[in-house]
């Protein structure tokens, strides 16, 4: 079990990884290509063992209390990593274009209903669980990476909500306020509910 400090640091690294995926998504006009290359974020997280809230929460009922206590610490680390990436990118020549694209996306999110964000968060983490579990359990090397590719690309193309990606998008757009923070918390709750859904239902087979 990682210490609290390790969970926070590995959470920051995961936030940076997902933010890089978000960066390439914002940089490409072709949505399909953007969704495919966004996969670099979860690929990095899984390959290097970083701590991503949306992946870790799927296994909370299979682990001990310390694991559960680490989840909000990981979430906070994810936030710091995503925010820091957006801040640093805003200082570069590519910053204005990324900010403009992110602002358009985040306006839609901020004006959406909370129930919509919650449900979209549920479906997002169902797909994250499929991606991560496929990566962990698929005996074939190619299958492992196809799991990541299909899980991530599909959740993006379906327009679902990923709390860590949204941490990056809201930070890049400079749109943090009470409403967007509430949206992020609702999306996080949706991700948590979606993440544990399949693992809990799979227990019925045992």
Render pLDDT for 160-182 as a digit per residue (tens, 0 to 9).
999 999 999 999 999 999 999 99
CB–CB of 74/63 below 8 Å? Answer: no
Please determine, for residue 203, whether its predicted confidence score (pLDDT) is greater than 90: no
Query: CA 125, CA 154: separation in Å to the nearest integer?
Result: 11
Name the CATH architecture for the domain at 4-205: Up-down Bundle (1.20)
What pLDDT is stored for residue 1 in this prediction?
A: 65
Instruction: Calculate mean pLDDT across residues 176-201.
Output: 97
Instruction: Calculate mean pLDDT across residues 37-52.
Output: 97
Query: CA 67, CA 73: separation in Å to the nearest integer?
Result: 10
Whole-model pTM? Answer: 0.96
Find the distance separating the first CA and the last CA of the chain, reported in whole Å. Answer: 26
What pLDDT is stored for residue 205 in this prediction?
A: 80
CB–CB of 54/130 below 8 Å? Answer: no
Write down the domain spans for the chain. 4-205
């Amino acid at each position: 079990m990682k210490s609290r400090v390790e969970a926070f640091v590995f959470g920051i690294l995961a936030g940076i990884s997902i933010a890089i995926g978000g960066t390439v998504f914002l940089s490409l006009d072709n949505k399909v290509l953007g969704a495919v290359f966004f996969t670099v974020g979860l690929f990095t997280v899984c390959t290097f063992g970083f701590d991503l809230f949306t992946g870790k929460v799927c296994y909370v009922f299979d682990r001990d209390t310390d694991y559960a206590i680490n989840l909000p610490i990981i979430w906070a680390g994810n936030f710091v990593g995503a925010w820091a990436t957006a801040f640093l990118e805003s200082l570069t020549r590519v910053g204005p274009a990324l900010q403009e694209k992110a602002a358009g996306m985040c306006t839609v999110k901020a004006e959406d209903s909370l129930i919509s964000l919650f449900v979209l968060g549920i479906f997002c983490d169902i797909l994250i669980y499929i991606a991560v579990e496929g990566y962990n359990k698929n005996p074939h090397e190619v299958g492992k990476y196809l799991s990541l590719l299909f899980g991530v690309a599909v959740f993006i193309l379906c327009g679902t909500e990923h709390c860590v990606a949204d941490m990056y998008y809201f930070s890049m757009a400079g749109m943090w306020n009470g409403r967007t923070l509430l949206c992020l918390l609702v999306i996080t709750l949706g991700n948590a509910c979606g993440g544990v859904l399949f693992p809990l239902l799979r227990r019925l087979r045992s």
